[in-house]
């Protein structure tokens, strides 16, 4: 299959993958993908504004009757025309082809048109159509530069589509504030009351799935009042630290600050009722044993001795960092619970015995255990009168166990999110390189399942020796490398890499050497040590990976928490920072569970990711996305304007370890 065939065949992806990222508006007439076609010769006359939904529907039907000609009609007409009239007819043919589902034909027409040479109004429409065909799925900055915010004279149907496309691009860059602003501007062009309600639900779903993490009030204040209202409501509803009374007070204050806001009219009451319904179906703490708004003690069940001692100590210290920040100091006050710590690592300490000790000591909630086998044993014998927040996941967590929650750092979840992110970027066909061990097998399986469930395909995979340095055999076999003068396979869109930092720093240069320097590489957080080392990480340039805000985000509140952890435990913090984040978030989750305030279905921005309570008491983590540039991880929102994969070396480069062999 040729490279051209590959690029054309990959074009039918975009709508599915953009839906993965933010979801599309379901309302006919306002969806950016179903707007009526512009006038035949490229004029920009907007449709007359109607005064009612019924009038909207009548006019839409009339326009549909007028525009019943298909792509063949415009192609035939274009053969008889010349100059600008021919270009306008071809553009109409491309638009009609897209609406008929003939994506390849639409792209061929646009390619013949030479979009960059079209008049401005036609170039805007052609660029918009290219975006809807997925040509900018992995180049959001390019789209934003080529498709600026519409001016007043732009027809309303075109302007709506532009604002929707810009919202998608901002979300792909992690710029939630700008995305919500674009969706607000889109709503201002919607005249049907029902369509507006549907669009507002779309705005709220976007905020819940990609909550803003802006900590700078001045940044939020720079947006219009409606955008500020949406964002500040999300910040209230998705604040993991607010107790029930605090949440009610914060909502009341928001209502006073934003009277008449669209969210107040259509979203807030519905959301609160839905939250109550989902809460009733979620695993709940046993309320007879737990006060509504206060509790006395938390028990930490961690293997502080034995083989997991280092990991357990990091979790404990992260937990205590959150506790100290919340209490305002190192000494317990009457307003905050006592933390009781129990060691599950001693040979003579069974998890059942430790649990009994913690309950007898008066614990209102148990946090732990950390070891997967102990989590399974505790779940099987779940008869405790208090809720449990386990710090690992059950193999099969679909069963409903009242009062039993699961939260941890799952490599399988990360691998699944890599597949989702690549699909959202418009990449369908993957190759995978993973270590030949149990971790690699589980990661590969999770990646493949996620990819295939959403319409992608794993073309092939290869295992590498995690103790080796020369990965020639798996790489050349996977790429079908036949020598310097022979092209490698051209059917893949990207490579999924599961590796530790020292392995990734060797694999990436070898991919370049074997002619895959321009193939995008996606990875889990494991390729990054968590500490900056520009010299060693130069070889990772261009790799995209998901990680937690604790590692990547420069949010001021997170930075203060990281500084506090580093100050309290300077000798150990840098070694296991992700486990500190796990402990940090575990404290916030435990307090909400103990107060019966953890709401299902909400995405809470936190240190380890966006936390969402799923079925079976499982708490998932949504990652933030970055890429390596100049040996440093940078959030994708900070992507250089070129948006090309950054390479530290040209093809033919091999790392020093192999050159000296």
Closest CA to 174 of 553, 535, 461: 553
Angle at the Cα of 367 (from 365 to 371), degrees rounded to 5? 145
User: Chain-wide mean pLDDT for the chain?
Assistant: 82
Q: Which of 281, 302, 319 is the last residue of a domain?
A: 281
Lowest mean pLDDT segment, chosen from 5-19, 132-146, 333-347: 5-19
Q: Which of 281, 304, 333 is the last residue of a domain?
A: 281
Lowest mean pLDDT segment, chosen from 126-135, 271-280, 479-488, 616-625: 271-280
pTM over 0.95: no
pLDDT tens-digit map of 370-406: 999 999 999 888 777 899 999 999 987 666 788 899 9
Question: When comparing pLDDT for 289 and 348, which is higher?
Answer: 348
Residue 27 has pLDDT above 70, yes or no: no
* 166 & 255 share domain: no
Is 534 a domain residue?
Answer: yes
Average the pLDDT over 248-268 and give the result: 88
Grade residue 139 by pLDDT with cuts at 50, 70 and 90: confident
**Separation between Cα atoms, residue 416 and residue 494, nearest integer Å:** 15
Report residue 17 CA to chain centroid gap.
12
* 221 & 130 share domain: no
In the block, tokens 């080529």 appear at: 146
Quote the tokens at residue 220: 């939020």
pLDDT tens-digit map of 184-232: 999 999 999 999 999 999 999 888 878 876 555 667 888 999 999 999 9
Is 344 a domain residue?
Answer: no
Grade residue 449 by pLDDT with cuts at 50, 70 and 90: very high
Judge whether 30 and 92 are in contact, CB under 8 Å: no
Judge whether 142 and 173 are in contact, CB under 8 Å: no
Residue 90: φ, ψ to 5°: -65, -40
Average the pLDDT over 543-569 and give the result: 92
Highest mean pLDDT among 53-57, 182-186, 219-223, 555-559: 182-186
Judge whether 291 and 365 are in contact, CB under 8 Å: no
* 172 & 230 share domain: no
Report residue 319 CA to chain centroid gap.
25
**Separation between Cα atoms, residue 153 and residue 162, nearest integer Å:** 13
Closest CA to 137 of 418, 424, 417: 424
- pLDDT, residue 121, reads 84
Closest CA to 426 of 3, 107, 103, 12: 12
Question: Across 338-488, where does the E strand assignment appear?
Answer: 338-343, 365-367, 388-390, 404-406, 429-435, 457-464
Average the pLDDT over 433-444 and give the result: 97
Judge whether 444 and 461 are in contact, CB under 8 Å: yes
* 502 & 540 share domain: yes
**Separation between Cα atoms, residue 464 and residue 470, nearest integer Å:** 9
Is 364 a domain residue?
Answer: no
| Residue 660, Cβ density class (10 Å: 0-12 exposed, 13-18 middle, ≥19 buried) | exposed
Is 497 a domain residue?
Answer: yes
* 184 & 252 share domain: no
Is 406 a domain residue?
Answer: no
- pLDDT, residue 215, reads 54
Q: Which of 177, 207, 237 is the last residue of a domain?
A: 207
Grade residue 490 by pLDDT with cuts at 50, 70 and 90: very high
Average the pLDDT over 400-414 and give the result: 92
- pLDDT, residue 655, reads 55
Judge whether 202 and 23 are in contact, CB under 8 Å: yes
CATH no. for residue 487? Answer: 3.40.50.2300
* 34 & 181 share domain: yes
Is 396 a domain residue?
Answer: no
* 165 & 258 share domain: no
Is 609 a domain residue?
Answer: no
- pLDDT, residue 32, reads 29
* 167 & 223 share domain: no
Residue 419 belongs to domain spanning = 411-553+624-659
Which DSSP string corresponds to 119-133? -HHHHHHHHHHHHHT
Quote the tokens at residue 524: 């889990």
pLDDT tens-digit map of 293-338: 457 899 999 999 999 999 999 999 999 999 998 876 555 444 678 9
**Separation between Cα atoms, residue 245 and residue 293, nearest integer Å:** 8
Lowest mean pLDDT segment, chosen from 164-178, 326-340, 453-467: 326-340
Quote the tokens at residue 622: 């949504």
* 124 & 264 share domain: no
CATH no. for residue 103? Answer: 1.25.40.10
Residue 12 has pLDDT above 80, yes or no: no
State the distance between the two ends of the chain, measured CA to CA, in whole angstroms: 37
Q: Sheet with 632-635: list strands edge to edge.
A: 457-464, 429-435, 494-497, 521-523, 544-547, 624-629, 632-635
Closest CA to 459 of 428, 419, 488, 481: 428
- pLDDT, residue 651, reads 55
**Separation between Cα atoms, residue 416 and residue 413, nearest integer Å:** 5
Mention every residue, 6+ apart, whose C-beta is less than 8 A from residue 359: 299, 366, 384, 385, 386
Grade residue 602 by pLDDT with cuts at 50, 70 and 90: confident
**Separation between Cα atoms, residue 227 and residue 597, nearest integer Å:** 27
| DSSP summary character for residue 618 | B
Grade residue 30 by pLDDT with cuts at 50, 70 and 90: very low
Grade residue 456 by pLDDT with cuts at 50, 70 and 90: very high
Closest CA to 515 of 496, 488, 539: 488
* 159 & 21 share domain: yes
Quote the tokens at residue 299: 């028990």
Residue 285 has pLDDT above 50, yes or no: no
Quote the tokens at residue 182: 């674009």
Which DSSP string corresponds to 66-130? HT---HHHHHHHHHT--HHHHHHHHHHHHHHHHHTT-HHHHHHHHHHHTGGGS-HHHHHHHHHHH
Closest CA to 393 of 383, 378, 384, 585: 378
Grade residue 18 by pLDDT with cuts at 50, 70 and 90: very low
Quote the tokens at residue 43: 């004029």
Contacts from 43-47 at CB under 8 Å and sequence distance 24+?
Answer: 44/121, 44/153, 44/154, 44/155, 44/158, 45/155, 46/155, 46/156, 46/157, 47/155, 47/156, 47/157
- pLDDT, residue 2, reads 38
The share of the chain scoring above pLDDT 70, in percent, equals 80
| DSSP summary character for residue 282 | S
**Separation between Cα atoms, residue 499 and residue 135, nearest integer Å:** 30
Is 82 a domain residue?
Answer: yes
In the block, tokens 């201002």 appear at: 188
Residue 33 has pLDDT above 80, yes or no: no
Judge whether 389 and 593 are in contact, CB under 8 Å: yes
Query: How many domains is the chain partitioned into structurally?
Result: 3
Residue 24 has pLDDT above 60, yes or no: no
Half-sphere CA count of 506, side-chain side, radius 13 A: 18
Lowest mean pLDDT segment, chosen from 5-19, 87-101, 135-149, 476-490: 5-19
* 261 & 128 share domain: no
* 248 & 174 share domain: no
| Residue 285, Cβ density class (10 Å: 0-12 exposed, 13-18 middle, ≥19 buried) | buried
Quote the tokens at residue 476: 């050349």
pLDDT tens-digit map of 513-539: 999 999 999 999 999 999 999 999 999
Average the pLDDT over 581-601 and give the result: 90
């Amino acid at each position: 299959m040729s490279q051209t065939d590959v690029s054309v065949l990959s074009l039918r992806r975009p709508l599915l993958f953009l839906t993965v990222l933010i979801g599309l508006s379901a309302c006919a007439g306002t969806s950016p993908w179903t707007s009526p076609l512009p006038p035949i010769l490229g004029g920009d006359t907007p449709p007359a504004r109607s005064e009612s939904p019924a009038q909207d529907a009548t006019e839409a039907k009339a326009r549909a009757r007028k525009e019943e000609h298909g792509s063949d009609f415009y192609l035939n007409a274009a053969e008889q025309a010349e100059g600008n009239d021919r270009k306008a007819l071809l553009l109409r043919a491309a638009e009609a082809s897209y609406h008929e589902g003939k994506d390849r034909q639409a792209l061929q027409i646009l390619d013949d048109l030479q979009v960059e040479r079209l008049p401005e109004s036609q170039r805007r429409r052609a660029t918009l159509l290219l975006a809807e065909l997925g040509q900018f799925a992995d180049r959001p900055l390019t789209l934003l530069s080529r498709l600026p915010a519409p001016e007043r004279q732009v027809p309303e149907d075109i302007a709506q589509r532009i604002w929707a496309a810009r919202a998608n691009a901002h979300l792909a860059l992690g710029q939630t504030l700008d995305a919500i602003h674009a969706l607000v501007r889109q709503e201002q062009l919607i005249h049907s009351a029902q369509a507006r309600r549907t669009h507002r639900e779309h705005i709220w779903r976007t905020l819940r799935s990609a909550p803003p993490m802006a900590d700078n009030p001045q940044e939020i204040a720079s947006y219009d009042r409606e955008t500020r209202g949406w964002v500040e409501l999300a910040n209230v509803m998705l604040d993991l630290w607010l107790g029930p009374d605090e949440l009610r007070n914060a909502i009341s204050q928001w209502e006073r600050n934003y009277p008449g806001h669209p969210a107040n009219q259509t979203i807030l009451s519905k959301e609160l009722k839905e939250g109550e319904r989902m809460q009733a179906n979620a695993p709940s703490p046993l309320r007879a044993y737990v006060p509504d708004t206060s509790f006395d003690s938390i028990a930490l069940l961690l293997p502080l001795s034995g083989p997991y001692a280092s990991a357990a100590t990091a979790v404990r210290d992260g937990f205590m960092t959150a506790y100290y920040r919340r209490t305002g100091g190192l000494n317990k006050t009457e307003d905050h619970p006592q933390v009781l710590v129990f060691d599950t690592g001693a040979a003579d300490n069974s998890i059942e015995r430790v649990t009994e000790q913690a309950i007898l000591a008066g614990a209102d909630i148990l946090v732990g255990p950390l070891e997967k086998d102990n989590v399974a044993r505790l779940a099987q014998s779940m008869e405790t009168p208090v809720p449990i927040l386990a710090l690992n996941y059950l193999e099969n967590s679909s069963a409903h166990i009242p009062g039993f929650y699961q939260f941890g750092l799952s490599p399988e979840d990360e691998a699944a999110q890599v597949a989702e992110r690549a699909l959202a970027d418009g990449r369908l066909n993957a190759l995978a390189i993973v270590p030949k061990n149990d971790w690699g097998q589980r990661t590969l399986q999770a990646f493949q399942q996620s990819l295939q469930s959403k319409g992608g395909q794993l073309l092939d995979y290869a295992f590498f020796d995690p103790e080796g340095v020369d990965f020639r055999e798996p790489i050349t076999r996977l790429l079908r490398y036949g020598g310097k003068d022979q092209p490698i396979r051209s059917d893949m869109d990207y490579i999924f890499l599961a590796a530790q930092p020292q392995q990734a720093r060797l694999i990436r240069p070898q991919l370049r050497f074997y002619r895959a320097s321009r193939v995008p590489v996606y990875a889990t957080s494991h390729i990054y040590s968590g500490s900056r080392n520009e010299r060693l990480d130069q070889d990772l340039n261009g790799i995209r990976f998901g990680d937690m805000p604790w590692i990547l985000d420069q949010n001021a509140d997170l930075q203060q928490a990281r500084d506090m952890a580093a100050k309290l435990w300077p000798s150990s913090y840098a070694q296991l920072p992700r486990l500190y984040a796990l402990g940090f978030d575990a404290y916030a989750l435990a307090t909400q569970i103990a107060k019966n305030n953890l709401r299902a279905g909400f995405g809470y921005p936190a240190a380890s990711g966006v936390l969402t309570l799923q079925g079976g008491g499982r708490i998932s983590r949504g990652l933030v996305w970055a890429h390596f540039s100049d040996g440093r991880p940078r959030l994708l929102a900070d992507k250089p304007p070129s948006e090309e994969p950054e390479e530290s070396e040209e093809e033919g480069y091999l790392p020093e370890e192999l050159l000296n062999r």
